[in-house]
Each structure stands twice: as structure tokens, then as C-alpha cells.
């Protein structure tokens, strides 16, 4: 072997650089042709994928590939199910509700793993995964059951949690009122309000609006350090600022561990105050250490804080954009608030049944501005047949929720903000199985109930007290494009909140 290497070195030293480049190009092309023509795999159609880089060149040539709409032209060319390669990573894009249903529900037993071998995911949770978002198999099912049960014990779905959200909505209104109708960015205030809800569940604390916990900006910086599809390729180590991202992740872990240490000092197994107390209790009891390992349960804390803060906060940020861009919709919601709630109290979930237009408005925000456009990636644990194509074990599966929610076959005028699409002739709310912003199947978002409660109470309370407008002389905020990283975030914008 050493002689062969020595001979090759001598050969390349005698020829020019162009010859070497041609040799390398031919070698890579040959490897690509051999790998792409594997007769054992009946892949769905898709764009040409090159060695090493996969389909990334086409993404860069055809557009910025930073918006959820960037992938849509591929469906027009290749169909509703597409095979792509993000670098060397094979992936399947599913562009219809029917295909997502077939994969995530009917084939849930074999399409519910997470692709923890992908570089970015492996860096943050390890090759075996951890927590409730990035664990797979039996361990994930048990951890999900434990998490849902724990959240119920801590008040999810109960009046006590609703009262916390109502209190936080009052604090948010008081803080907005301090602006006295002047232009301001609602970004941080909304983020702090939502963060305080999950923080009370997980950490047992809330923070004043003038006191920003270090955890919140660290989380937001980490989520926005990478962009879109780059997260799903092993080339992320070259395309993304991984040193910066891992420094932020390490800082996030460190801050949460500080909270855990603080809880240990006052821990009482007979008085469970929050999820961290549950974490301490379950790890001390040493029940099923394979599943309830400290790293697994610690990652659940991270998962809850991450998912419970960023997604709901971004949905509320999109909501205000649509309210200032659609003043007629905002006015109709306010009329309904005045009729059902009035000005003497804060909204409660029981009001929702009597406020169909408000509910329809929230449904339309969830449809037109999904904050996780491609969902969280799934992976096949076995080779399966999907829509007549062979999908090998170890393939990443992405449900394109954005395309489903903007498919004209599902929703007329899909890029128009029309809450009335959710109301029948009797002004009753229409439900649709095509509305899947939280995904579907066993891997659907487990915080859906909490998110819906927060969206209703926060939005109605803000519109009960203020009319939101575009500041004079400024452009209306963009209601379609945003910053597409781990989640889909609106570009920063200003509003004026005029007291009603």
C-alpha cells in the first residue's frame, strides 16, 4: 500500500495542476455515477445530486434557499415526493398531506426515528440522541409518556396554568403601555412573556421585563446561528459557524445546570415545584437507568424550554404582523372581544367557543405563517415502500408542512390572509385535517395544547387593550418572508400600540 501511495505521489508531482484537477473530477464523477445508479433502490424522482455536495449547488444557483418557498418549484418539476441529497445525506421531501399522513401516521412504526447521525444533531445530543425531541425507539416513547404525564401533573390543561398565562398577559399589557403609543419592536417583550410561562413550568421562576435572563438571548442566538437546509447536511461543519453554535449550546447547558444545582439545595421529594424537581426525583430513584439517565432527562428540560419559548413567541410575532397589515381583521377581532369579554377581565379559554372569528384568525396565522416549515426531521428505522418507491433504512424524511398549508388544492388563495375561510355560513369554525402546523402522528408537537392556550389568551388580551398600527413613515412589516433557521422568524419590525 505504501508503494502505491508513493507511486501516485511521484506521478502527480510530474504532471501539471490541470491534469490533477481533471483526474479528481473524473474520479468523483465516476463514484457519483456508481452510487446514483444503485439498482436496489427505487428512489423517487429529484434533482441531479453531485458527489460530496449533493443538491446544494442547485439550491444556491436557483435562489437564496433561505425561505420556505424556495423548495416549491421542485414539486412542480418532480412531483409530490422528491429524493434529494443534502451533501451525502439522502432525504425525502413529502409535499402533500396524504403523503405525510402515509409516512408519519400509517408507517409511524418505521418512520419515527431521528437522524442523529447528521453532524449538527450529533453535535448537540450525541450519536444516540437524547431527550424527547431527538431520542428514538422505545426510549423515546417512554420519555414522551413521562414528559406528557409530568406536564399534566404540573398544571398543563388545568386552571392553574391558565391563570399563570392570564397574569403574564396582564404584565405584557402593562409593559407595552409604557411605550405611550410610540413606535417599538414587540420582539423582546413577546419573547419574554412566552418564556416566562415555560420558565414557571420548568424552573419555577418568572422574570421581570426589565430583567432579561441570560438563558433567553443565548437560546435565541443559538437557534439563529445556522440557516435552513444547512442544518441537514454533514457539510454544516464548513457551512455553519459551528464553533460559535457549540459555544452557545455549551453556555445554554451550563445555565440550565446552574438551575438544577440551585434546585438540589432546596429539593424536597414531597413538594415537587417544577420540572427540574421532577428531574432530580426521577434520577435519584434510579428507575430504569437506561431510559431515565441524567443526560436524557436533562435534555428534556432543554427541549421543553426551547420548544416552549421560540415557536409560540414567533407565532405571536407573526400574529401582530398580520394584524397591522389587515386592520379590518384586527377590528373584527376587537369587536368580538368587546361583545364576549368586554374590558373588565382577561380572556379565558372558555371564551373561545363564543369567539369564532378570533379562533379563525389564530388558525389562519398558524396556516399562513408556520414557524417550523419542514417540521423536525424523521428517519426510517427500516426500509419501507412509500408511494411505490423504495426508501432505505437510515433515510431522512421531511414533511413539507409549508407546502401543505399553502397548497391551492387545500386552501383557496393560499397566500392571502383570510380568517373567514375557517367559518361556515353560520359563523361556526370549520376544522380541517390539512391544518398541520404542529405536524401529525406520534411525533407531533407535544406542546400543542399549551401553545394554543397561550396564543388565544395573549393575542386577545393585547387586542383587548390596544390597536396595533404601522408607525407613520415606516413600511408595513413583511408577512411572507422571514429569517429561516431552526425556526421561521419574522424580520424585526416596529408597531405602535394605541390604547383603546
- Count the Cβ atoms, other than its own, within 10 Å of residue 161: 20
Q: What is the DSSP letter of 260?
A: H
* C-beta of residue 491 within 8 angstroms of C-beta of residue 483: yes
Q: Report residue 53: phi and psi, to 5°.
A: -95, -15
Q: Which 3 state secondary structure label does DSSP give 81? A: strand
CA distance 67 to 403: 12
CA distance 357 to 33: 56
Q: What is the CA radius of gyration of the chain?
A: 25
Is 445 annotated to bind ligand? Answer: yes
Place of cell 435534555: 299
Distances (CA, A) of 444 to 108, 378, 441, 474: 11, 11, 5, 39
Pairing of β 183-184 and β 495-499: antiparallel
CA distance 396 to 92: 6
Selection from 181, 231, 207, 169 nearest residue 376 by Cα: 231
Selection from 10, 310, 60 nearest residue 187 by Cα: 310
The length of the chain, given as a count of residues: 500
Q: Is 76 exposed, middle or buried (0-12, 13-18, 19+ CB in 10 A)?
A: exposed
Pairing of β 466-469 and β 482-484: unpaired
Q: Which residues contact 192 (CB under 8 A, 6 or more apart)?
A: 207, 209, 212, 216
Residue ranges of the binding site: 445
Residue ranges of the binding site for heme: 445
Amino acid at each position: 500500500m505504501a508503494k502505491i501511495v508513493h507511486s501516485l505521489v511521484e506521478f502527480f508531482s510530474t504532471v501539471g495542476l490541470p491534469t490533477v484537477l481533471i483526474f479528481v473530477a473524473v474520479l468523483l464523477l465516476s463514484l457519483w455515477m456508481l452510487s446514483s445508479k444503485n439498482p436496489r433502490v427505487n428512489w423517487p424522482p429529484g434533482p441531479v445530486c453531485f458527489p460530496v455536495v449533493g443538491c446544494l449547488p442547485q439550491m444556491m444557483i436557483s435562489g437564496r434557499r433561505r425561505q420556505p418557498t424556495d423548495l416549491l418549484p421542485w414539486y412542480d418539476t418532480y412531483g409530490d415526493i422528491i429524493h434529494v441529497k443534502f451533501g451525502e445525506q439522502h432525504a425525502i421531501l413529502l409535499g402533500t398531506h396524504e403523503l405525510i399522513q402515509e409516512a408519519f401516521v400509517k408507517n409511524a412504526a418505521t418512520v419515527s426515528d431521528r437522524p442523529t447521525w447528521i453532524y449538527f444533531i450529533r453535535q448537540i445530543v450525541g450519536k444516540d440522541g437524547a431527550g424527547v425531541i431527538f431520542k428514538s425507539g422505545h426510549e423515546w416513547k417512554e420519555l414522551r409518556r413521562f414528559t406528557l404525564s409530568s406536564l399534566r401533573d404540573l398544571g398543563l390543561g388545568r386552571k392553574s396554568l391558565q391563570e399563570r398565562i392570564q397574569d403574564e398577559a396582564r404584565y405584557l399589557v402593562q409593559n407595552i403601555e409604557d411605550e405611550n403609543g410610540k413606535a417599538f419592536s414587540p420582539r423582546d417583550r413577546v419573547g419574554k412573556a412566552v418564556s416566562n410561562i415555560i420558565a414557571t413550568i420548568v424552573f419555577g421562576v418568572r422574570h421581570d421585563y426589565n430583567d432579561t435572563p441570560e438563558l433567553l438571548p443565548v437560546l435565541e442566538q443559538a437557534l439563529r446561528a445556522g440557516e435552513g437546509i444547512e442544518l441537514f447536511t454533514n457539510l454544516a461543519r464548513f457551512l455553519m459557524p459551528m464553533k460559535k453554535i457549540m459555544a452557545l449550546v455549551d453556555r445554554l447547558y451550563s445555565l440550565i445546570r446552574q438551575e438544577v444545582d440551585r434546585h438540589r439545595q432546596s429539593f424536597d421529594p414531597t413538594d415537587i415545584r417544577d420540572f427540574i424537581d421532577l428531574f432530580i426525583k426521577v434520577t435519584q430513584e434510579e428507575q430504569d437507568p437506561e431510559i431515565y439517565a441524567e443526560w436524557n432527562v436533562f435534555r428534556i428540560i432543554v427541549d421543553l424550554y426551547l420548544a416552549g419559548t421560540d415557536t409560540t413567541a414567533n407565532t405571536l410575532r407573526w400574529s401582530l404582523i398580520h394584524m397591522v397589515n389587515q386592520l379590518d381583521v384586527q377590528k373584527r377581532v376587537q369587536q368580538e372581544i368587546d361583545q364576549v369579554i368586554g374590558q373588565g377581565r382577561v380572556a379565558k379559554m372558555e371564551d373561545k367557543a363564543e369567539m369564532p372569528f378570533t379562533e379563525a384568525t389564530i388558525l389562519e396565522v398558524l396556516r399562513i405563517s408556520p414557524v417550523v416549515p419542514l417540521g423536525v426531521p424523521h428517519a426510517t428505522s427500516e426500509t419501507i415502500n412509500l408511494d411505490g418507491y423504495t426508501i432505505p433504512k437510515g433515510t431522512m424524511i421531511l414533511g413539507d408542512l409549508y407546502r401543505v398549508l399553502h397548497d391551492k388544492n387545500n386552501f383557496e388563495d393560499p397566500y392571502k390572509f383570510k380568517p373567514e375561510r375557517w367559518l361556515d355560513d353560520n359563523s361556526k369554525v370549520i376544522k380541517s385535517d390539512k391544518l398541520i402546523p404542529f405536524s401529525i402522528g406520534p411525533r407531533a408537537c407535544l406542546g400543542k395544547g399549551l401553545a394554543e392556550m397561550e396564543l388565544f389568551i395573549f393575542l386577545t388580551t393585547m387586542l383587548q387593550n390596544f390597536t396595533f398600527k404601522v408607525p407613520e413613515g415606516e413600511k408595513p412589516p413583511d408577512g411572507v418572508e422571514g429569517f429561516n433557521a431552526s425556526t421561521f422568524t419574522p424580520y424585526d419590525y416596529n408597531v405602535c400600540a394605541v390604547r383603546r
